[in-house]
Structure 1
Amino acid sequence: ITMDNELINIQTNEQGKQRVSARDLHKQLEIKTRFSAWINQYTDMFVEGNDFMAEVQTTPIKNGNGRVQYLDDYSISVDMAKHISMMTKTERGNQIRDYFIQIEKQWNSPELMMARSLQYANNKLIGYESKIAELTPKAELHDKFIATGEAIGVREASVEMGIKQNELVDVLLNHKYIYRQQGRNGKLQPYKKYVPKLFTLKSGGVGENGIEYTPRMRITPYGREYFYKKFVDPEQTELDMEA
């Protein structure tokens, strides 16, 4: 709140509470006692974290040799400032107390209460918009893979993910989602615990030569989304995709 006859600067914190600098109050009350000794008289009378909070190194000053020092301060509630002003028992203290009372009346006026309500609603709306923006990559990522609705081979999956086939195979092998049968050139097969969630197996059969062939591995839409999020683009919005 800014007034033409403003005596003490009053700040509003993120919680919507009005706060005052204890050093500012000390100065305006024209107290002769050293600040640290003066404020210590009141810290036991009020609740730390609610009525007052220490603010270290808030006011830079230059001393005689040109070095910059910092003075400790306290952020105090208007109620605490009002009580301290009254306890000072001076004409100046009464003036400051009356000033705080005037500020409180203005702060609690219907106009300002409405303004604060609108500001709160606006902040909530901004928060919702931010959350929607945050979730958009998740929705797009979901659509990218789930919309296909079918399990596909490693080659097709690598194209869909935008990476090389050998890179996809290597990462799945290294993280033990799949293994090779019969050595280096054997067919890729998933570990059973990941079937059918991440992989499916297309039924095997008997070839023209009468030799039974191994079921072919396919990666499910969920599996592709999972691997894309885990290995290709980990900066995407966090997904609940524990395998």
Structure 2
Amino acid sequence: MQDITPASSVGASPFDGIRRTTPEGREYWSARDLMPLLGYDSWRRFADAIKRAKIAAHTSGRDVTSNFAGAVKISETKPAEDHHLSRFACYLIAMSGDPRKPEVAAALAYFAIRTREAETATSDLTQLSRRDILLMALEAEDRADQQQARAEVAERERDELAPVAGKFLDAEGDLSVRDAAQALTRAGVKVGQNRLFALLDERYGWIKRAVGDGRYRVIQSAIESGYMSVIPQSHYHPKTGVLVLDAPQPRVTPKGVQRILVDHGGAA
């Protein structure tokens, strides 16, 4: 049985207090412990954030299984779903949160510093001065400010496009690129699936074709702006039976369809 040992919590950060290590010295954070520190009050909402972070990890070429190890949280009532998260996984989850929340901003700064410490561990951590740490924290906060600015712009755009949605768009939920093309055509913007893929790539920069498999990947900023989303896809290998993660399916949100419709002057 794996022995789970809480890490030393000498530091003032609450994220240090929930950091744990295995007997082999591997550190991790329990998703159940992390959830309240990021301001989430329900596991369902936090599980959605974990799902988005997994997609981001897969898109960036990171191993999802090792960074988001499945686990079970033993409580006084009944066992509950949990994940043992790496530093990188925690950072991705924090990035998917609302940067205007102080809890999220604090997490971004903390895990940015932890990542930097790990990167320099092979050299000499004594060379990492207080000024270096402060600069890293400020850089993380600056990224959070940029995310907040993007969120505010997206909110204003959503308000501006709301009347358009009532006139042109009757679709509910996110659409595949094929269905989005059909919705746009019905609204007066004649575009096929292939042309819409090209528009999303070349004009809007919401997707990019991967070098390896040639499949389109959604850009994280397009997800954060609310224009695109993804659906994880997987299949079991026919010979080994191992679960294989496929490229996530790009989806266009109603807001994304509205944006394209406005840009191309769809019929009222």
TM range (shorter): 0.3 to 0.5
Greater Rg over alpha carbons, structure: 1
TM-score, normalisation: structure 1: 0.37
Q: Please identify which structure carries the higher helix content.
A: 2
TM-score, normalisation: structure 2: 0.34
